[in-house]
Structure 1
Amino acid sequence: MIAAVCADITTLRVDAIVNAANRWLRPGGGVDGAIHRAAGPELEAACGAIGGCPTGEARVTPGFGLPARWVIHTAGPVWRGGGEGEERLLARCYASSLEAAMGCAARSIAFPAISTGIYGFPRERAAAIALSVMRAYESRFALLVACCFSVPDALLYRRLLAQPPA
């Protein structure tokens, strides 16, 4: 099942949450900063031990102070107009995160809208990519959540979910 909610991802009771991280896995702003604050300083230490995450890949750490057992960190692409493989890299972020979730036996995963904040990825394109990849993996999980920061984003995801898959 795929659901779209408007919520604080750090409060969701799922097996894993996905962090829209930077390539260095250092605490940043936006959802990354919120996840680091909620998880506690152990998360920064665990990320430091990993050393980084290339764009489109994913790395897993414990959730520490979060309700989620795992945090799956993925570094999304910066939008540069669409001619530099950004859509392929964003799809790879979702697929890599889902593969990592299967590797730690997570059955429920919540995703933020990767790359749509300061990385500037157009929201509707990003949502369509996210849902396309989630649909491809849906049968392997009990629950996949598109966790949106705003009501308009949640409504966008719900509208796209109501449409037949492309």
Structure 2
Amino acid sequence: MGQIELTCGDILALRGDALVCPAHKHLIRGRGLSAQVYERGGAALAAACELQPECAVGEARITRAYGLPVKYILHTVTPQWSSGDQWGAQAVVQLRRCYESVLALARQKKLKKLLFPALGAGTNRFPHEIAAHQALEVLHEHSGDFDRLTVCLHTPTALSDWRRVEKRFFGD
């Protein structure tokens, strides 16, 4: 069974086969981590993204990782959290689908070491506890197909939230 690692820091400084990047449906530069990835990837990444078909919420696309310490970028369009209103359940299902799509694409490309941010919990405002539960459920289910799945959180508070969810639902 592969290892799931929760850490805190700069995801762009970590090494692996692929970095998972929250994306816009047209794979154009977004905000947050997406903006940082596009800045490092430069014109070559922008050109590669232009060749990709539109990416719906929950789907994933792959490009080379120009200028980053990984081989590939797995782009996925995350849903917007709607504060738990009547569309909240749909957003949770879509977030789960992001992880499933990324892992399916990574398996297809035989990638073994993946780096994940807290998908949906940045500019799309998912509460970390909800994002963590969905992510960890999918990652634990598929961890045997990978050597290492690293979730890199942006703050110590987020890391604490994710560790608490992992302990509560998935043990130590």
Normalised-by-shorter TM-score class:
over 0.9
- Point out where structure 1 has 5 or more consecutive residues left out of the alignment: none
Q: Check whether the contact 2:14–2:69 (CA below 8 A) recurs between aligned residues.
A: yes
CA distance in 2, matches of 1:52, 1:149: 28
Q: Is it true that 1:61 corresponds to 2:66 in the alignment? A: no
CA distance in 1, matches of 2:144, 2:158: 24
Residue identity matched to 1:151: P
- Point out where structure 2 has 5 or more consecutive residues left out of the alignment: none
Cα distance, 1:77 vs. partner?
0.4
Residue identity matched to 1:54: A
Cα distance, 1:164 vs. partner?
4.2
Q: Output the TM-score relative to the length of structure 1.
A: 0.94
Count of paired positions: 166
Trace 1:17-96 onto structure 2 (pairs within 5 A). Answer: 17-82=19-84, 83-84=86-87, 85-96=90-101
- Tell me the equivalent position of 2:10: 8
Q: Over aligned residues, Cα RMSD in angstroms?
A: 1.4
Q: Output the TM-score relative to the length of structure 2.
A: 0.91
* DSSP-derived class of the 1:64 partner: coil
Q: Percent identity?
A: 34
CA distance in 2, matches of 1:54, 1:115: 14
Residue identity matched to 1:15: D
Q: Check whether the contact 2:128–2:162 (CA below 8 A) recurs between aligned residues.
A: no
1:122 to 114, 118, 127: 127
* DSSP-derived class of the 1:163 partner: helix
- Tell me the equivalent position of 1:138: 143
Residue identity matched to 1:155: S
